[in-house]
């Protein structure tokens, strides 16, 4: 774990190194993924079957009946079923507020203009199934698609040895998924993008995955829409010395346990508090069943930054543009207003990032790797597209047409100019 002091002479250099550190997988997977995509495009089911047998160790059938999803939901412990239902309700309510409204107006020139929003026809949701199973990811990806009005919702998930976590199936039932396929990896992304003899293609693919899945989404963007190319998880906690150090340590470890490449950073104005939190992290690590992953992440990528005043944290936060930002202070509002770049912000001492992963309401699929500088978390808009329209009356084309003719001639496009000129009064 790295310690930085904003008052140190070499702080700027150390902080720049932290900001620009590359935590993605070292292996160059681009060529391998390109080969997988090419094979799936050319061979369809045969390629998907071969890769599924090679990487997950099972053969057909690939599709999981929806009745199995309903049965998994019915078989849940009552408390767990209630927790999933609560999460789904809150996610659905929050995302319903994102749905855009159409516009249709007539301007001063008499031109009718506006825009209408429509959902894509089909969306694919990728759900990880390797290191862990995440029913919360099913809800966070599938429910916004349903709210948007997507007609066909497809879920793919790797199932090592053909086995799938029943919680994932139960979540698919709650979210209203139409098809569930036990296929994962880059081959699943390619199958959703191009279609195979068995799996019909979709228009948008969302959901987290490993480096191969992320690279496949990157390469196939343009063939289909994607949510984002996500990297390792990260959390940045801004906390004063009045916090319970056990809470802050747990918050830092909540991301460290995701993956050895995850990153957890604390910014504080209290050196003594930082020492206590560091000690508490060590204590909590020993009790975690995920200790191997969390310790590797904390040792390699953890950091604590000491500042003189917590308002100094705002430009540091913006430079890091973290996936998750906790403002664990008595009055988070000044910092909240000062920060420009973060995937999602958690306000106050009683709002741990982990509550947002499950039952908060806002989406937990967020930009990583400083991409919050220019992108946003998953929303209903990722499953919709906007079509603009305009309509000119005879009077309206007379009012604005001459300017269009002049601009077309200026650009050296005479056919453009004639297309308008023909409609103008002689």
Q: What residues are annotated to the active site?
A: 323-324
Q: How far apart are CA 111 and CA 280, in angstroms?
A: 65
Angle made by CA atoms 197, 198, 204, in degrees to the nearest 5: 100
3-state secondary structure of 313: helix
Q: How far apart are CA 237 and CA 342, in angstroms?
A: 12
DSSP 139-190: HHHHHHHHHHT-SEEEEE---GGG---HHHHHHHHHHT-SEEE---HHHHHH
Burial 20-41 (b: 16+ CB within 10 A, else e): eeebebeeebeeebeebbebbb
Work out the number of other CB atoms within 10 angstroms of the CB of residue 45: 15
Q: How far apart are the first and last CA of the chain?
A: 78
Angle made by CA atoms 268, 273, 279, in degrees to the nearest 5: 120
Nearest to 204 by CA among 157, 152, 168, 139: 152
CB neighbour list of residue 108: distance below 8 Å, 6 or more residues apart: none
3-state secondary structure of 315: helix
């Amino acid at each position: 774990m790295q310690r930085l002091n904003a008052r140190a002479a070499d702080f700027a250099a150390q902080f720049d190194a932290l900001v620009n550190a590359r935590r993605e997988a070292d292996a160059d997977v681009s060529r391998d993924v390109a080969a997988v995509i090419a094979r799936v495009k050319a061979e369809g089911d045969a390629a998907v079957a071969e890769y599924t047998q090679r990487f997950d160790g099972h053969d057909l059938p690939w599709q999981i009946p929806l009745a199995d999803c309903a049965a998994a939901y019915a078989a849940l412990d009552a408390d767990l079923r209630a927790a999933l239902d609560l999460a789904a309700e809150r996610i659905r309510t929050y995302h319903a507020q994102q749905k855009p409204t159409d516009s249709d107006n007539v301007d001063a020139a008499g031109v009718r203009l506006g825009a209408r929003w429509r959902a894509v026809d089909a969306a694919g949701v990728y759900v990880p199934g390797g290191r862990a199973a995440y029913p919360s990811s099913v809800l966070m990806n599938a429910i916004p698609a349903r709210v948007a009005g997507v007609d066909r919702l497809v879920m793919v998930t790797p199932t090592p040895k053909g086995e799938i976590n029943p919680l994932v199936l139960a979540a698919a039932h709650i979210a209203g998924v139409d098809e569930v396929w036990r296929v994962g990896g880059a081959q699943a992304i390619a199958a959703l993008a191009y279609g195979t003899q068995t799996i019909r293609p979709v228009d948008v693919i969302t959901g987290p995955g490993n480096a191969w899945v992320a690279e496949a989404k990157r390469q196939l963007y343009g063939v289909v829409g994607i949510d984002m190319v996500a990297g390792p998880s990260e959390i940045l906690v801004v906390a004063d010395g009045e916090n319970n150090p056990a809470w802050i340590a747990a918050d830092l470890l909540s991301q460290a346990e995701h993956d050895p490449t995850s990153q957890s950073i604390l910014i504080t104005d209290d050196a003594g508090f930082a020492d206590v939190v560091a000690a508490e992290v060590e204590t909590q690590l020993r009790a975690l069943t995920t200790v191997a992953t969390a310790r590797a992440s904390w040792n390699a990528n953890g950091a604590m930054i000491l500042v003189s005043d917590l308002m100094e944290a705002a430009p540091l936060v913006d430079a890091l543009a973290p996936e998750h930002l906790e403002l664990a202070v008595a009055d988070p509002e000044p910092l909240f207003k000062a920060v420009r770049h973060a995937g999602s912000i958690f306000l106050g001492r009683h709002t741990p990032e982990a509550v947002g992963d499950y039952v908060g309401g806002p989406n937990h699929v967020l930009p990583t790797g400083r991409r919050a500088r220019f992108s946003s978390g998953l929303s209903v808009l990722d499953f919709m597209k906007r079509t603009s329209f305009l309509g000119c009356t005879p009077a309206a084309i007379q009012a604005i047409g001459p300017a269009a003719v002049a601009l077309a001639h200026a650009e050296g496009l005479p056919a453009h100019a004639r297309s308008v000129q023909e409609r103008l009064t002689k």
